[in-house]
Amino acid sequence: MTSSTGRSLLELIGGADERGLAAAGLACLDRCLPLLAPERAEVLRPVWAAVARGGGAAWAEAVAKARVELDGAGGADADAGGVVALVRAMIDAVPAEWAEEPLRAWAERCSTVALAVHRLYDVNEDGPLHAGELRRQLAVLDTVAHGPTGLRRARELSTEGGRVLRAVVSRRARTA
């Protein structure tokens, strides 16, 4: 699958600047966060604001605060090899430094983890949930490439994706 510009996910991540990389990783984390801490949906709002301001000290401060607020989320992590551990690893790996290389490594990892998480809940390996997550990742990278104005759309895509994933998980829990 490619973006509206005809570029692949790897190409978009490879060509993104710091703001785009931070937004891409944060969007993946934001969509998966309800699996770890459904009651803390707004904990990443200050991190999004730091991305809009261009990172720096605001980024480091917002990331540190979010980590503290999410410390212990997900309980005792009974599924250490499962979804909670994957989402926790995304949070733990957020770079405090606003620099291209650590943000790129984090964005790539978040992309991979988010796709894997969606695949776990899908009806088949490349089902609609996984395909939807891939489309959202491409759309986020496309929109943030247009500057700070694209961040609002990226956040909307993340909110929508989080709702979809929560609904799928909830439906699965009811039928189990």
Model confidence pLDDT, tens digit, residues 38-87: 888 789 999 999 999 999 999 999 999 999 999 877 754 445 448 888 99
Q: If we measure between CA atoms, which residue out of 24, 171, 7 comes closest to residue 107?
A: 24
* Residue range 11-30, pLDDT digits in tens: 999 999 999 999 999 999 99
Q: What is the C-alpha to C-alpha distance for residues 52 and 166, in angstroms, rounded to an integer?
A: 26
pLDDT for 169 beyond 90: no
The neighbour count for residue 100, using CB atoms within 10 Å, is 12
Contacts of 160 (CB under 8 A, 6+ apart): 136
Q: What was the pLDDT predicted at 147?
A: 78
pTM of the model: 0.91
Structure tokens at 121: 């809940």
Q: What was the pLDDT predicted at 176?
A: 65
Tell me if residue 145 falls in helix, strand or coil.
coil
pLDDT for 124 beyond 90: no
